[in-house]
């Protein structure tokens, strides 16, 4: 059974601590879906956090899925050359 967390607003340096608190207790679920459909802004801090969560999920045999991410997430990841390491993306 998968857990789901809907994030909203900005995922930036200024909000990253709040985001970590919102998601922390769900990270141990066998499958976690992060619904990003209401995320208005994303920066490199959020990309780094998503990659960290993905590494932890893979190491523990869990699955992390990003649902409806903002367009600039994939463009930022491509700019940094880490697009292939992002969690599975669901449109």
| CATH code where residue 23 lies | 3.30.750.24
- How many domains does the chain divide into? 1
* pTM of the predicted model over 0.85: yes
Quick: pLDDT tens for 5-62. Answer: 999 999 999 999 999 999 999 999 999 999 999 999 999 999 999 999 999 999 999 9
Domain of 43 in residue numbering reads as 2-90
Nearest to 26 by CA among 59, 58, 62: 62
42 neighbors 68 (Cβ within 8 angstroms): no
């Amino acid at each position: 059974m998968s857990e789901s967390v809907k994030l909203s607003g900005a995922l930036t340096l200024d909000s990253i601590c709040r985001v970590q608190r919102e998601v922390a207790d769900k990270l141990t679920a066998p499958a976690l879906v992060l619904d990003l459909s209401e995320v208005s802004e994303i920066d490199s801090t959020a990309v780094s956090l998503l990659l960290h969560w993905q590494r932890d999920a893979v190491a523990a045999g869990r699955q992390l899925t990003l649902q409806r991410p903002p367009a600039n997430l994939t463009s930022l990841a491509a700019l940094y050359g880490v697009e292939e390491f992002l969690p599975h993306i669901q449109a």
